[in-house]
């Protein structure tokens, strides 16, 4: 299990302009077929869900065919910014190791500086072994 630290902190890492299809699953509503504007190993901007409020938790399901072996990638996210009629800024706060490596592959494919992106992420995580 990978836990992201400092989820209350404002975005401070560069994001890669990656347009992937995602579903945002909140406890009371699902936003289907939204598109990411940008993405990093710590979070994403998603066009859609702008009526949410900061602190709302969701599952982020990447469903674009062909992203990583046609697997659906699911992460947990928290809304850290919401702009009505535009979208939400999410920070990823929980993902398993398989999801981390899949997300890293997506980022690496679109990144100009793979090592910088990975280094920024590793500064903010704690890997927890299953009990």
Q: Is the pLDDT reported for residue 126 higher than 60?
A: no
In a domain, 44, yes or no: yes
pTM of the model: 0.72
Alpha-carbon span 50 to 56, nearest angstrom: 11
In a domain, 30, yes or no: yes
In a domain, 117, yes or no: no
Alpha-carbon span 27 to 13, nearest angstrom: 28
CATH number at residue 37: 2.40.10.220
In a domain, 105, yes or no: no
In a domain, 128, yes or no: no
Both tokens of residue 111?
């990144």
The CA-CA-CA angle for residues 61, 63, 64, to 5°, reads 140
Q: Which residue has the higher pLDDT, 122 or 105?
A: 105
In a domain, 110, yes or no: no
Domain count, the chain: 1
In a domain, 31, yes or no: yes
The model's pLDDT over 18-76, given as tens digits with 9 standing for 90+, comes to 888 899 999 999 999 999 999 888 899 999 998 999 999 999 998 754 455 556 788 99
The model's pLDDT over 64-121, given as tens digits with 9 standing for 90+, comes to 544 555 567 889 999 999 999 899 999 998 888 888 888 777 777 776 665 655 565 5
Residue 126's Cα: distance from chain center in Å?
A: 17
Enclosing H/E stretch for 35: strand 30-39
In a domain, 98, yes or no: no
């Amino acid at each position: 299990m990978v836990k992201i630290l400092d989820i209350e902190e404002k975005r401070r890492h560069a994001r890669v302009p990656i347009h992937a299809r995602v579903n945002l699953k909140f406890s009371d509503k699902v936003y289907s077929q939204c598109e990411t504007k940008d993405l990093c190993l710590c979070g994403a901007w998603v066009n859609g869900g702008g009526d949410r409020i900061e602190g709302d938790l969701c599952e982020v399901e990447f469903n674009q065919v062909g992203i990583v072996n046609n697997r659906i990638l699911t992460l947990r996210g928290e809304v850290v910014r919401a702009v009505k009629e535009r979208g939400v800024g999410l920070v990823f706060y929980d993902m398993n190791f398989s999801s981390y490596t899949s997300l890293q592959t997506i980022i690496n494919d679109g990144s100009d500086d793979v090592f910088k992106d990975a280094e920024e992420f590793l500064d903010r995580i704690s890997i927890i072994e299953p009990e």
